[in-house]
């Protein structure tokens, strides 16, 4: 069975600090997909990134970057120069290639960025 | 392009009452999902529709929860009768074809409080 672990329950940083959110996953499949979503206080889950298991290139989008390492089954998310607007709960999720696109979510990491 | 719409945004009911939530997916999306998110946890899939057919309802408490998507577009999730433990946010999501790895886009959710 697939599983996603986000060991950090809550992280507090001061604005402009860099912060990394950890995600470790378990799956028996060789083909799978990993996602990150942001959930601000308004409650809506906002899609950030999708990565398939065959693409281990790191990705950067503005202040966001993702480090995918199959050897350690990790898909970590780094925010550079954090801002107050980054305060939210961040979820890592896994979808296996078999069947339909069922997502298994981690429990989320709450990020608090103070001015 | 309009996102996933949900209503109502908030609902407070007494235990043993019934409640219904509505969702309208992104136009053209064939797959619709209902998730339950209990405070402090990641979303848990309740039911997945492909067009107007159910493809996964293994985690839906069928003795009290029901869902339909009659015309393959919008959907309704019902709880009857509600229990205290049903207090949660109910999220609706949609994706293009529901194939593995499809990105799911979420609505704002309905926050249900059962007293």
Classify residue A52 as exposed, middle or buried by CB count within 10 Å of its CB (0-12, 13-18, 19+). middle
What number is the average pLDDT over the span B45-67?
A: 93
What number is the average pLDDT over the span B3-25?
A: 97
Tens-place pLDDT, residues A33-72: 999 999 999 889 999 999 999 888 888 889 999 999 999 9
Q: What whole-number distance in Å separates Cα of residue B100 and Cα of residue A27?
A: 14
Instruction: List C-alpha distances in Å: B51 to A22, B14, B33, B88.
Output: 35, 33, 11, 26
How many angstroms separate the CA of residue B80 from the nearest CA in chain A?
Answer: 24
Tens-place pLDDT, residues A6-38: 999 999 999 999 999 999 999 998 899 999 999
The dihedral built from the CA positions of residue B94, B96, B98 and B100, taken in this order, carries a sign that is negative
Residue B98 has what pLDDT?
67
Residue A63 has what pLDDT?
95
Query: How many residues are listed for chain A in this entry?
Result: 115
Query: Which residues does chain B have within 8 Å of residue A43's beta carbon, measured at their own beta carbons?
Result: 89, 108-109, 111
Chain A residue with the nearest C-alpha to that of B9: A43
In this complex, the residue of A33, A35, A93 whose CB is nearest that of residue B100 is A33
What number is the average pLDDT over the span B39-64?
A: 93
How many angstroms separate the CA of residue A106 from the nearest CA in chain B?
Answer: 6
User: Is the CB of residue A55 less than 8 Å from the CB of residue A47?
Assistant: no
């Amino acid at each position: 069975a697939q599983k996603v672990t986000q060991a950090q329950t809550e992280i507090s940083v001061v604005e402009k600090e860099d912060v990394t959110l950890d995600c470790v996953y378990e799956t028996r499949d060789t083909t799978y997909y990993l996602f990150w979503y942001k959930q601000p206080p308004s409650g809506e889950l906002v899609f950030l990134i999708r990565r398939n298991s065959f693409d281990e290139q790191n990705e950067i989008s503005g202040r966001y970057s993702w480090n995918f390492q199959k050897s350690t089954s990790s898909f970590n998310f780094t925010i550079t120069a954090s801002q107050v607007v980054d305060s939210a709960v961040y979820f890592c999720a896994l979808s296996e290639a078999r069947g339909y696109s069922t997502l298994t979510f981690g429990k989320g990491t709450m990020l608090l960025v103070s001015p | 392009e309009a996102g996933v719409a949900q209503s109502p945004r908030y609902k407070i009911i007494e235990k043993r009452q019934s409640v219904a939530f509505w969702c309208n997916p992104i136009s053209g999306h064939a797959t619709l999902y209902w998730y339950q998110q209990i405070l402090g946890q990641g979303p848990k899939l309740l039911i997945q529709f492909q067009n107007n057919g159910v493809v996964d309802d293994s985690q839906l408490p069928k003795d009290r929860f029901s869902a339909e998507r009659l015309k393959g577009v919008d959907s309704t999730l019902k709880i009857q009768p509600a229990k205290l433990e049903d207090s949660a946010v109910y999220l609706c999501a949609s994706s293009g074809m529901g194939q593995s790895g499809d990105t799911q886009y979420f609505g704002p959710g309905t926050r249900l409080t059962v007293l």
